[in-house]
Amino acid sequence: MDAPFPVIFGICLDAEAGWSRLLADGNPRPILKSQGAYAVREGLEPLLNLLDHHSVVSSFFIPGQTVDRYPEATRMIHQRGHEVAAHGYDHLALLKLSKEQERDELVRGIESITSVVGRRPVSWRAPGWEFTDSTFDLLLDAEISISTNFQDCSSPYRHVRDGAPLPLVEIPVHWHLADAPYFLYGGGLGGTIDTPSTAYENWSEEFLALYDDRPGSIFHLTLHVQLIGHPGRLRMVERLIKLIKSKPRATFMRCDELATQVA
């Protein structure tokens, strides 16, 4: 029997915390933060309904600040069967933090999730997909066992240090399989706003090529609720889900489910 082909939807619910790095000057920037608020006000429930309708499980990466601000939204994600995974506390860029600040950012985010859903997260995504020299040790100290940050492979693997395997599985990501390059705009970041069909063309072609041509690979799509939760983009996601489910080996999984299959 052919092996299943894992499909991961790694979904970030950043909300207002997603813009924290642009608020360091003390200006409240309510219009900018309102883009993040859209994620919870209008984007999340239609996205969850879409995932429910197609029996899709996923992993939601949520900063602790967002968990504390929107505990009911966080609990709703958990209750619908999705993994609630860690994503820092204030969604701060790790490269600008001291080791102790980085530890605080990690631990506070974990504690917020544990308090709200009653289960300690095991998966973690760095804001901006960046590590420091301290990150590996901090993750191991915090008993994080799954990272979704590196971009060096098309299949999951176990991190190794000095020839010895670490209790840390990597589920790789790729920028071309994320929604931010297509839809992120505002805050002086530049960028463009592409049509949903452009993203669909790129994502569907990559899915089909990985499925057909790369044994042992996975399809890991990174989404942000504030970006993907608009009606036209959700229609595109549904179209992609239908394509994925048309392939008999394609299997939607949470990150914590997939990690159990990595030696």
Q: Strand locations in 92-145, DSSP E?
A: 123-124
Q: Which of 57, 74, 78 is nearest to 8 (CA)?
A: 57
Q: Give yes or no for residue 187 having a pLDDT over 90.
A: no
Residues of the domain holding 77: 5-259
Phi and psi at residue 253, to the nearest 5°: -145, 155
Using CA atoms, how far apart are residues 205 and 136, in angstroms rounded to an integer? 34
Asked if 177 contacts 220 with a C-beta cutoff of 8 angstroms, the reply is yes
Q: Strand locations in 65-179, DSSP E?
A: 83-86, 123-124, 146-147, 157-161, 164-170
Q: Give residue 1's pLDDT band: very low, low, confident or very high (50, 70, 90).
A: low
Q: Give residue 23's pLDDT band: very low, low, confident or very high (50, 70, 90).
A: low
pLDDT tens by residue, 91-135 = 999 999 999 999 999 999 999 999 999 999 999 999 999 999 999
Give the strand pairing for 157-161 and 164-170: antiparallel
Using CA atoms, how far apart are residues 203 and 192, in angstroms rounded to an integer? 18
Helix (H) or strand (E) holding 241: helix 231-245
pTM above 0.85, yes or no: yes
The separation between CA 164 and the C-alpha centre of its own chain, rounded to angstroms, equals: 28
Q: What pLDDT is recorded for position 25?
A: 65
196: domain CATH number is: 3.20.20.370
Number of domains in the chain: 1
Asked if 109 contacts 86 with a C-beta cutoff of 8 angstroms, the reply is yes
pLDDT tens by residue, 230-241 = 999 999 999 999
Structure tokens that stand for 47 in this block: 């996205």
